[in-house]
Amino acid sequence: MMDDQTISTDRRTAMALGLAGLGTASLPGIALAETTAQGRAEASPRRSVLLAEGWRFHLGHAADMAKDFDFGLNQRTYAKPGRDVSPATLADFDDSGWSAIRVPHDWAVDLPFAGPAAPAEKDKEDAVAAHGFKTIGRAFPQNSVGWYRCRLPVGAADKGRAVWLEFDGVFRNCKVFVNGFEAGGSASGYAPFRVDIADFLDYEGGANQVAVRVDASLGEGWFYEGAGIYRHVTLVSAAACHVPQWGTCVRAEVDGEGAAVTILTTLANDAESPAKVTVRHAVHDAEGRQVAMAADHLAEPGALGKVEFEQTARIRAPRLWSPASPYLYRLTTEVLRDGVVVDRTETAFGVRTVTFDAVRGFTINGQNVKLLGVCNHQDHAGVGAAIPDALHEWRVDRTLEMGANSWRSAHNPSAQVLLDICDRKGMMMIAETRLNTTNPEAMDELERMILSSRNHPSIILWSVGNEEGHQGSERGRRISAELVARCKALDPTRLTTQAMDQGWDGGAAEAVDVVGFNYRTDKIAAWHERHPDKPVIGTETGSTVSTRGAYENDEARHIVKAYDTEHPWWASTAEEWWTIVANAPYIAGGFIWTGFDYRGEPTPYPAFPSVASYFGAMDSCGFAKDNYFYYRAWWRPDQPLVHLLPHWNWAGREGQPVPVWAHGNCAEIELLLNGKSLGRKPMPRNGHLEWQVPYAPGKLEARGYNGGKVVARDQRVTASAPAKLKLTAERVRLAAGGADLSVLRVEVRDNAGNPVPTADNALRFSVSGPARIIGLGNGNPTSLEADKGDSRKAFNGLAQAIVQGSGSSGSARITVSGEGLSPAAIDLFFH
């Protein structure tokens, strides 16, 4: 999959558009390219266009079908394809009054909050709370249908070719129209899908228009899911005889002579006459060197037909993919007709061996590795479900820094770009289907998940369900067995799992290869004694709750202290579950619930104004909570760490004891207050240390010792009143083009430069130059401020701005200010 950060419009693309009877000037923001493993553009008979810019959006009216379909124009029907549908689907419809937006796009994140429901409407409140109290769903039909329109860059040069649209994710139930014809769609909010559009295009010089109607009236989860075209859309134009979407599958098996590579290829012929072509495969390493090739294959697909065939190749001395060394190969597939290349695709893959064992746990390439995992929904402060590629990467980097090596996409297939990032960075993935049932829709969604993702070496397990009501029953076993069988038919190289919160002695546990425990980690040992031959994993663990930067519970204000003590009844502390898993070799690992806070499913406070969960090791902005450092200590034990909590601003509590904790992995930790030692203690393995310290303003310091030497430090200093702002970014040099972005951290400080841990100042942001703020956040799960705009309050001293390029090169200055505070600014450079 192409990364929109590397796409650019070049001379060859402009020529291609010109041949198609188009001009790039009429298609602002449309970017085209073919890229090789070396990153250079290369002429190709296949054309792929990432449809990011040039979209228009209008919020529909599900309660009034006339408005929903034509926004007040004459009502139409489905009597005649291409004519008797909404005028909004036609090329000549005037959409100048619609909002100009960039895809990915989530309209739900911009909606107002519903507020608390009356007691008589408690059921309604529960449903609305699940989705973060946003005014969307059946209770708010006026906000639950949206329309998108985009001009398609196709024309005369595409006549006789296969042309299709690839949607990686649309939430939810959508219909795709091209020039007034309903061309396809998808009910699923998560499974990727393809829409063939060649039959509906105008090749005679007329405009070509796609319109997408999205209906998010019904949700699929019990968490915030967004609404709209929240993942990438790609237009593909290929030769009539071509490799279709997901048409190559690469399987590499390590043996004594290297790696045997099996290549499964599907070839489609959209022409009305038979074809006779040669298919050629070559494998290149990460440096671009050809390291293997398959024998040419002569294929003869019939008219409007498909053929599938298998070829083999061998890599003599393969470099293996692993979290420590995520090495990728690239398969180039060419289709030749009369010796001329008419189609070319590239498929990234890795060579690795993965096993799950009931005694040894998890191994990769023969090495025993504990899965140090996080569960995550697709949601981030400021942008909702429409996470840009660079923000996906930033989130993965934050998680890797904590020490995690694996990610569970809960509870649905992830974005393809996230899988690409995991492939490159060595983050292993459990991919999970949304529906644990066997109706045609569920089976189709499972199939789309596997076909789209089975070449990704990062995926180590397919999950066929999560806490299903029938999980422990015979029905649950039958359903999961059928799903597992379909997984194995499509991908016999991977094992399957299911996340279960009860019924592990029967039901679905008998159908899957690796049994998943959601919580109840303390029950695994007894279960293992009863099932000594069954691999096991903690699919959800911990589920601690906390408010970042808070150290006292306050039920009235919906605040949860950040010591590792607070959790719902079904869960445990981080230390409790990890100690069990760390000391049990047969447990493959565990996936904490969750890596990041997320909107919806507000826990532990299910009522307004809690609009988000408190589960994350990081808040919704990715700011670390204290438990982040517990995991960081024991998941990266080779890097000395000491982390001190709480903050040291407790005016009015002088002389009163304050609980002080230290997370860390050093042999001993010494605590000092204002330079005076309060004692040195040995750090218990996988544990933490505690002191009761009478409060006195000043400096609280922790020193970590290994072999009698200080190897790590941390401190908390009593801050005075907020006086100034500090603005930082991990990346200041960015790619131009409108896709790349930087995540900015705002910190409130006192005159001496100390962080003010309780600051909640109102902040204002401004931008000059080729950039825009696409989202703001502060990590407060009770915040009702808008995610978009130019203002945001700090929360416990921090706030975040996500700044994206506007498409041009040059420098942009972002300034943040607040009343009574010295402002801060930072320059970003787009090139």
Secondary structure class of 653 (helix, strand, coil)? coil
Q: Which two tokens stand for residue 634?
A: 């024991």
CA distances, 256 to each of 5, 43, 329, 597 (Å): 40, 38, 19, 46
425, 406 contact by CB (below 8 A): no
Q: Which two tokens stand for residue 437?
A: 């049932």
- Which member of 441, 447, 467, 552 is catalytic? 467
Sign for the pseudo-dihedral over CA of 299, 305, 311, 317: positive
> If residue 776 lies in a helix (H) or strand (E), which one and from where to where?
strand 771-777
Task: Report the alpha-carbon distance of residue 461 to residue 488 in Å, rounded.
Answer: 11
- Which member of 540, 670, 701, 747 is catalytic? 540
Task: Write down how long the chain is.
Answer: 831
Alpha carbon of residue 455 to chain centroid: 18
**Residues 6 or more apart in contact with residue 147 via CB below 8 angstroms:** 57, 58, 60, 88, 98, 211, 212, 213, 214
What are the DSSP E strand ranges found in 220-376?
Answer: 233-238, 241-242, 248-255, 258-269, 277-284, 290-293, 297-299, 306-315, 329-337, 340-349, 354-357, 361-364, 367-368, 371-376
Active site residue 540: yes
377, 598 contact by CB (below 8 A): yes
**DSSP category for residue 552:** S
**Residues 6 or more apart in contact with residue 659 via CB below 8 angstroms:** 551, 563, 646, 690, 691, 692
**Residues 6 or more apart in contact with residue 489 via CB below 8 angstroms:** none
Secondary structure class of 69 (helix, strand, coil)? helix
Q: Do β-strands 724-729 and 699-706 pair in parallel, antiparallel, or remain unpaired?
A: unpaired
> Which of 627, 254, 643 is closest to 457 using CA atoms?
254
Active site residue 819: no
Query: 349 φ, ψ to 5°?
Result: -155, 165
DSSP string of 407-427?
EEETTSPPPHHHHHHHHHHT-
Active site residues: 467, 540
